[in-house]
Each structure stands twice: as structure tokens, then as C-alpha cells.
Amino acid sequence: MSDMAAECGSGNCDAWAARDPSGILSPYKFNRREVQSEDVSLRITHCGVCYADVIWTRNMFNDSIYPLVPGHEIAGVVTEVGADVKGFKVGDHVGVGVYVNSCQDCENCNSSLENHCSKCVVTYNSVDSDGTAAPLLCAGITVYTPMIRHNMNQPGKSLGVIGLGGLGHMAVKFGKAFGLKVTVFSTSESKREEAINLLGADNFVISSDENQMESLKSSLHLIIDTASGDHQFDPYLSLLKVGGVMVLLSFPSEIKVHPENLNLAARSLAGSVTGGTKDIQEMINFCAANNVYPDIEMIKIDYVNEALQRLINRDVRFRFVIDIENSFK
């Protein structure tokens, strides 16, 4: 076997994988198991690029398993279904998100919170229950779930959105579709045009401007925090109404909060990741009924390393999507 062939591996599936913490992706082959009685097999046509792909390809949480095939916003067409599968048939258009399996029998699974199952099998950097590699929708459901959980689908309420990337722009879109008053917080004035004129936000605030921040004190019901880097929390917590909630969707290295900003106004700081299958289907139905769609930049897979670097540099409007179908021809 040549060095190139060894590097690419062998198998029945084509992919691009990172081999080490450099995070550089290159062609890779691996074997997918035969379709079992409860499996659904699909031909992947498209896959979104998420900041989580940067985190795990570069081993930023020190738990990456190489070779690592990233990707967890997958769209495709069903090609085969197992004998016991209900609800899917060959030819259906389907999506795969952050996880692909769970125990199906615990308290969380029985409450449609499969994403919190202790035996949840993640789409990337994970091993399936039978010991094989796990298969390959994220931004939308990650912001939709906490908005529904905290009753923000009620017109007239006020929403704050920190960051205007893949997650943030979907939070703005859902907020406007729910009839909310939406304020976008950013460190970059260059985002104002996109926030107001493209996405329809009601207000845009530079988070480092103390006067602008002060003018919004105690005005927001919910804040969706999508900022990927380390940042302060107290300036945002003070903008919440009594009983307001700030939801953290990213993974900063630490959280520092002055107790006064929580206790004196009964505010809460909460966390959230993705969503259960029931919420995902509800979100897809809502998006279809209300024309809520992400703004994307379509790329071929051989551009993925440049795309990841642009994602780090915040140079994308607002989500890269890989045209898988036309990348492996």
C-alpha cells in the first residue's frame, strides 16, 4: 500500500478527517457497518460547518479521538432502512444532528430529551453502542430549544442575542418569527448593517459601549449567549428583567458572576446544548411554516480547511455548508 493510500485509509465511506490537533482535514476512507434492523442509511448531500468542528478537530477540550471526521449538520436522502424502522422510507429527505443514538429507555429519553441521555452517541468523536464508529442540525435547534423552554414564543417579549454568527443569526430569525423585540450585542460595528437590515433586529448595541448598555438595564426577558470566546457576564446579566434568564450556548474557559447580579433581581444563568427529537421536528415544522431559513455560503469539501480558518476569524455570513453531493464525484 502506498503512503498516500495508507494515509487515506480504506473502506466504503468517503470523508475528510483530522489526524492530529493541527485540525487539518484531508481525504479519509472508513467502513460503515451493514444496516441493522433499527438503522437508517442515507446518502449525504450537504453538511454544515460549526465552531464545534474547530474545537474537536483541534483537541481544544483534550478529548479528541483521531482520526476524527467532523460534521453534525447533515442533510441527505434515505437509501436503506432496517426491518424495524418506522417513520422513514427510502427516498425521504432527512437530517442528522449532533447525536445519532441513545438508550431509548431512560428518564431523559422518555421525556424526548435524548440529547441528555447518559448513553447518547454523538455524531462525531464518539463510538456507537456496538463499538463501531458513530455516523457523521445544530445551530437552529441549539437556539430554538432554550427559547421554547423559557417561553419566548410569546409576541411582545424582549430578546437579547450575543454574537451574530451561525447560532446568533438563527436566534434573531426565530425571535422575529415569534414576534419578539430583538437586540443584538456585538463587539463589531461592522455587524450593524447585517443585524438591522438583513436579519430585521430591532436594536444593535456595541457591548463595550457603557452608555448603550446602561440604556438597556432591566429590559430583557431572555439573553441568548452565543459568544465562543471568554467574555464578561455581569454587564449582560444586569440587562435582564426581574426573573430574566441568560442562556449560555458556548464553552468559555470560565464563568465569573457577581452574586448581586443574580440574587437581587431573581435572575438566572442557564446552559443548553442542542435539543431532543421532538423539539427538532417541531423546529423544522415551524421553519417550514414561517419561512425561517439560515443564510449560508455553499462550499466544496476541498475548501473546508480555509472555511474553518475563516470561521475562527469570524469571516462567514453566517454558516458554511459543504456541498457533499458534488464534492465526491
Please determine, for residue 248, whether its predicted confidence score (pLDDT) is greater than 60: yes
Residue 5 lies in a domain: no
User: Dihedral (C-alpha) 80, 86, 87, 92: value to the nearest 10 degrees?
Assistant: 10
**pLDDT bracket for residue 177 (50, 70, 90):** very high
Same domain for 177 and 216, yes or no, is: yes
For the chain, give the percent of residues with pLDDT over 90.
Answer: 87
Please determine, for residue 3, whether its predicted confidence score (pLDDT) is greater than 60: no
Predicted pLDDT at 5: 45
Of the residues 271, 295, 311, the one at which a domain ends: 271
Predicted pLDDT at 132: 61
Residue 282 lies in a domain: yes
Residue 27 lies in a domain: yes
Of the residues 271, 286, 313, the one at which a domain ends: 271
DSSP structural state of residue 317: S
Same domain for 211 and 127, yes or no, is: no
Predicted pLDDT at 7: 56
DSSP structural state of residue 274: S
Q: How do residues 7-54 score in pLDDT, each as one tens digit?
A: 566 788 999 999 999 999 999 999 888 999 999 999 999 999 999 999
**pLDDT bracket for residue 329 (50, 70, 90):** confident
Whole-number average pLDDT of the chain: 92
Kindly report the CATH number assigned to the domain that includes residue 80.
3.90.180.10
Query: Which residue type does 39 have?
Result: D
Same domain for 160 and 127, yes or no, is: no
Same domain for 109 and 39, yes or no, is: yes
Q: Provide the domain limits for residue 214.
A: 139-271
Pull the grid cell for residue 122. 454523538
Kindly report the CATH number assigned to the domain that includes residue 153.
3.40.50.720
Residue 3 lies in a domain: no
Q: How do residues 129-148 score in pLDDT, each as one tens digit?
A: 776 664 337 889 999 999 99
Same domain for 144 and 111, yes or no, is: no
Of the residues 251, 271, 291, the one at which a domain ends: 271
In whole angstroms, give the CA distance from residue 236 to residue 133: 41
Give the residue with greater pLDDT, 97 vs 127. Answer: 97
Please determine, for residue 4, whether its predicted confidence score (pLDDT) is greater than 90: no
Please determine, for residue 158, whether its predicted confidence score (pLDDT) is greater than 50: yes
Predicted pLDDT at 117: 95
In whole angstroms, give the CA distance from residue 265 to residue 237: 10
Residue 2 lies in a domain: no
Same domain for 122 and 241, yes or no, is: no
- Residue 99 CB-density burial (10 A; 0-12 exposed, 13-18 middle, 19+ buried): buried
Predicted pLDDT at 129: 75
Mean pLDDT of 116-121: 94
Same domain for 118 and 21, yes or no, is: yes
Report whether 71 contacts 131 (CB < 8 A): no
pTM greater than 0.85: yes
Task: Give the total number of structural domains in the chain.
Answer: 2
Same domain for 144 and 116, yes or no, is: no
Same domain for 133 and 144, yes or no, is: no
Cα dihedral sign for 141, 72, 116, 78?
positive
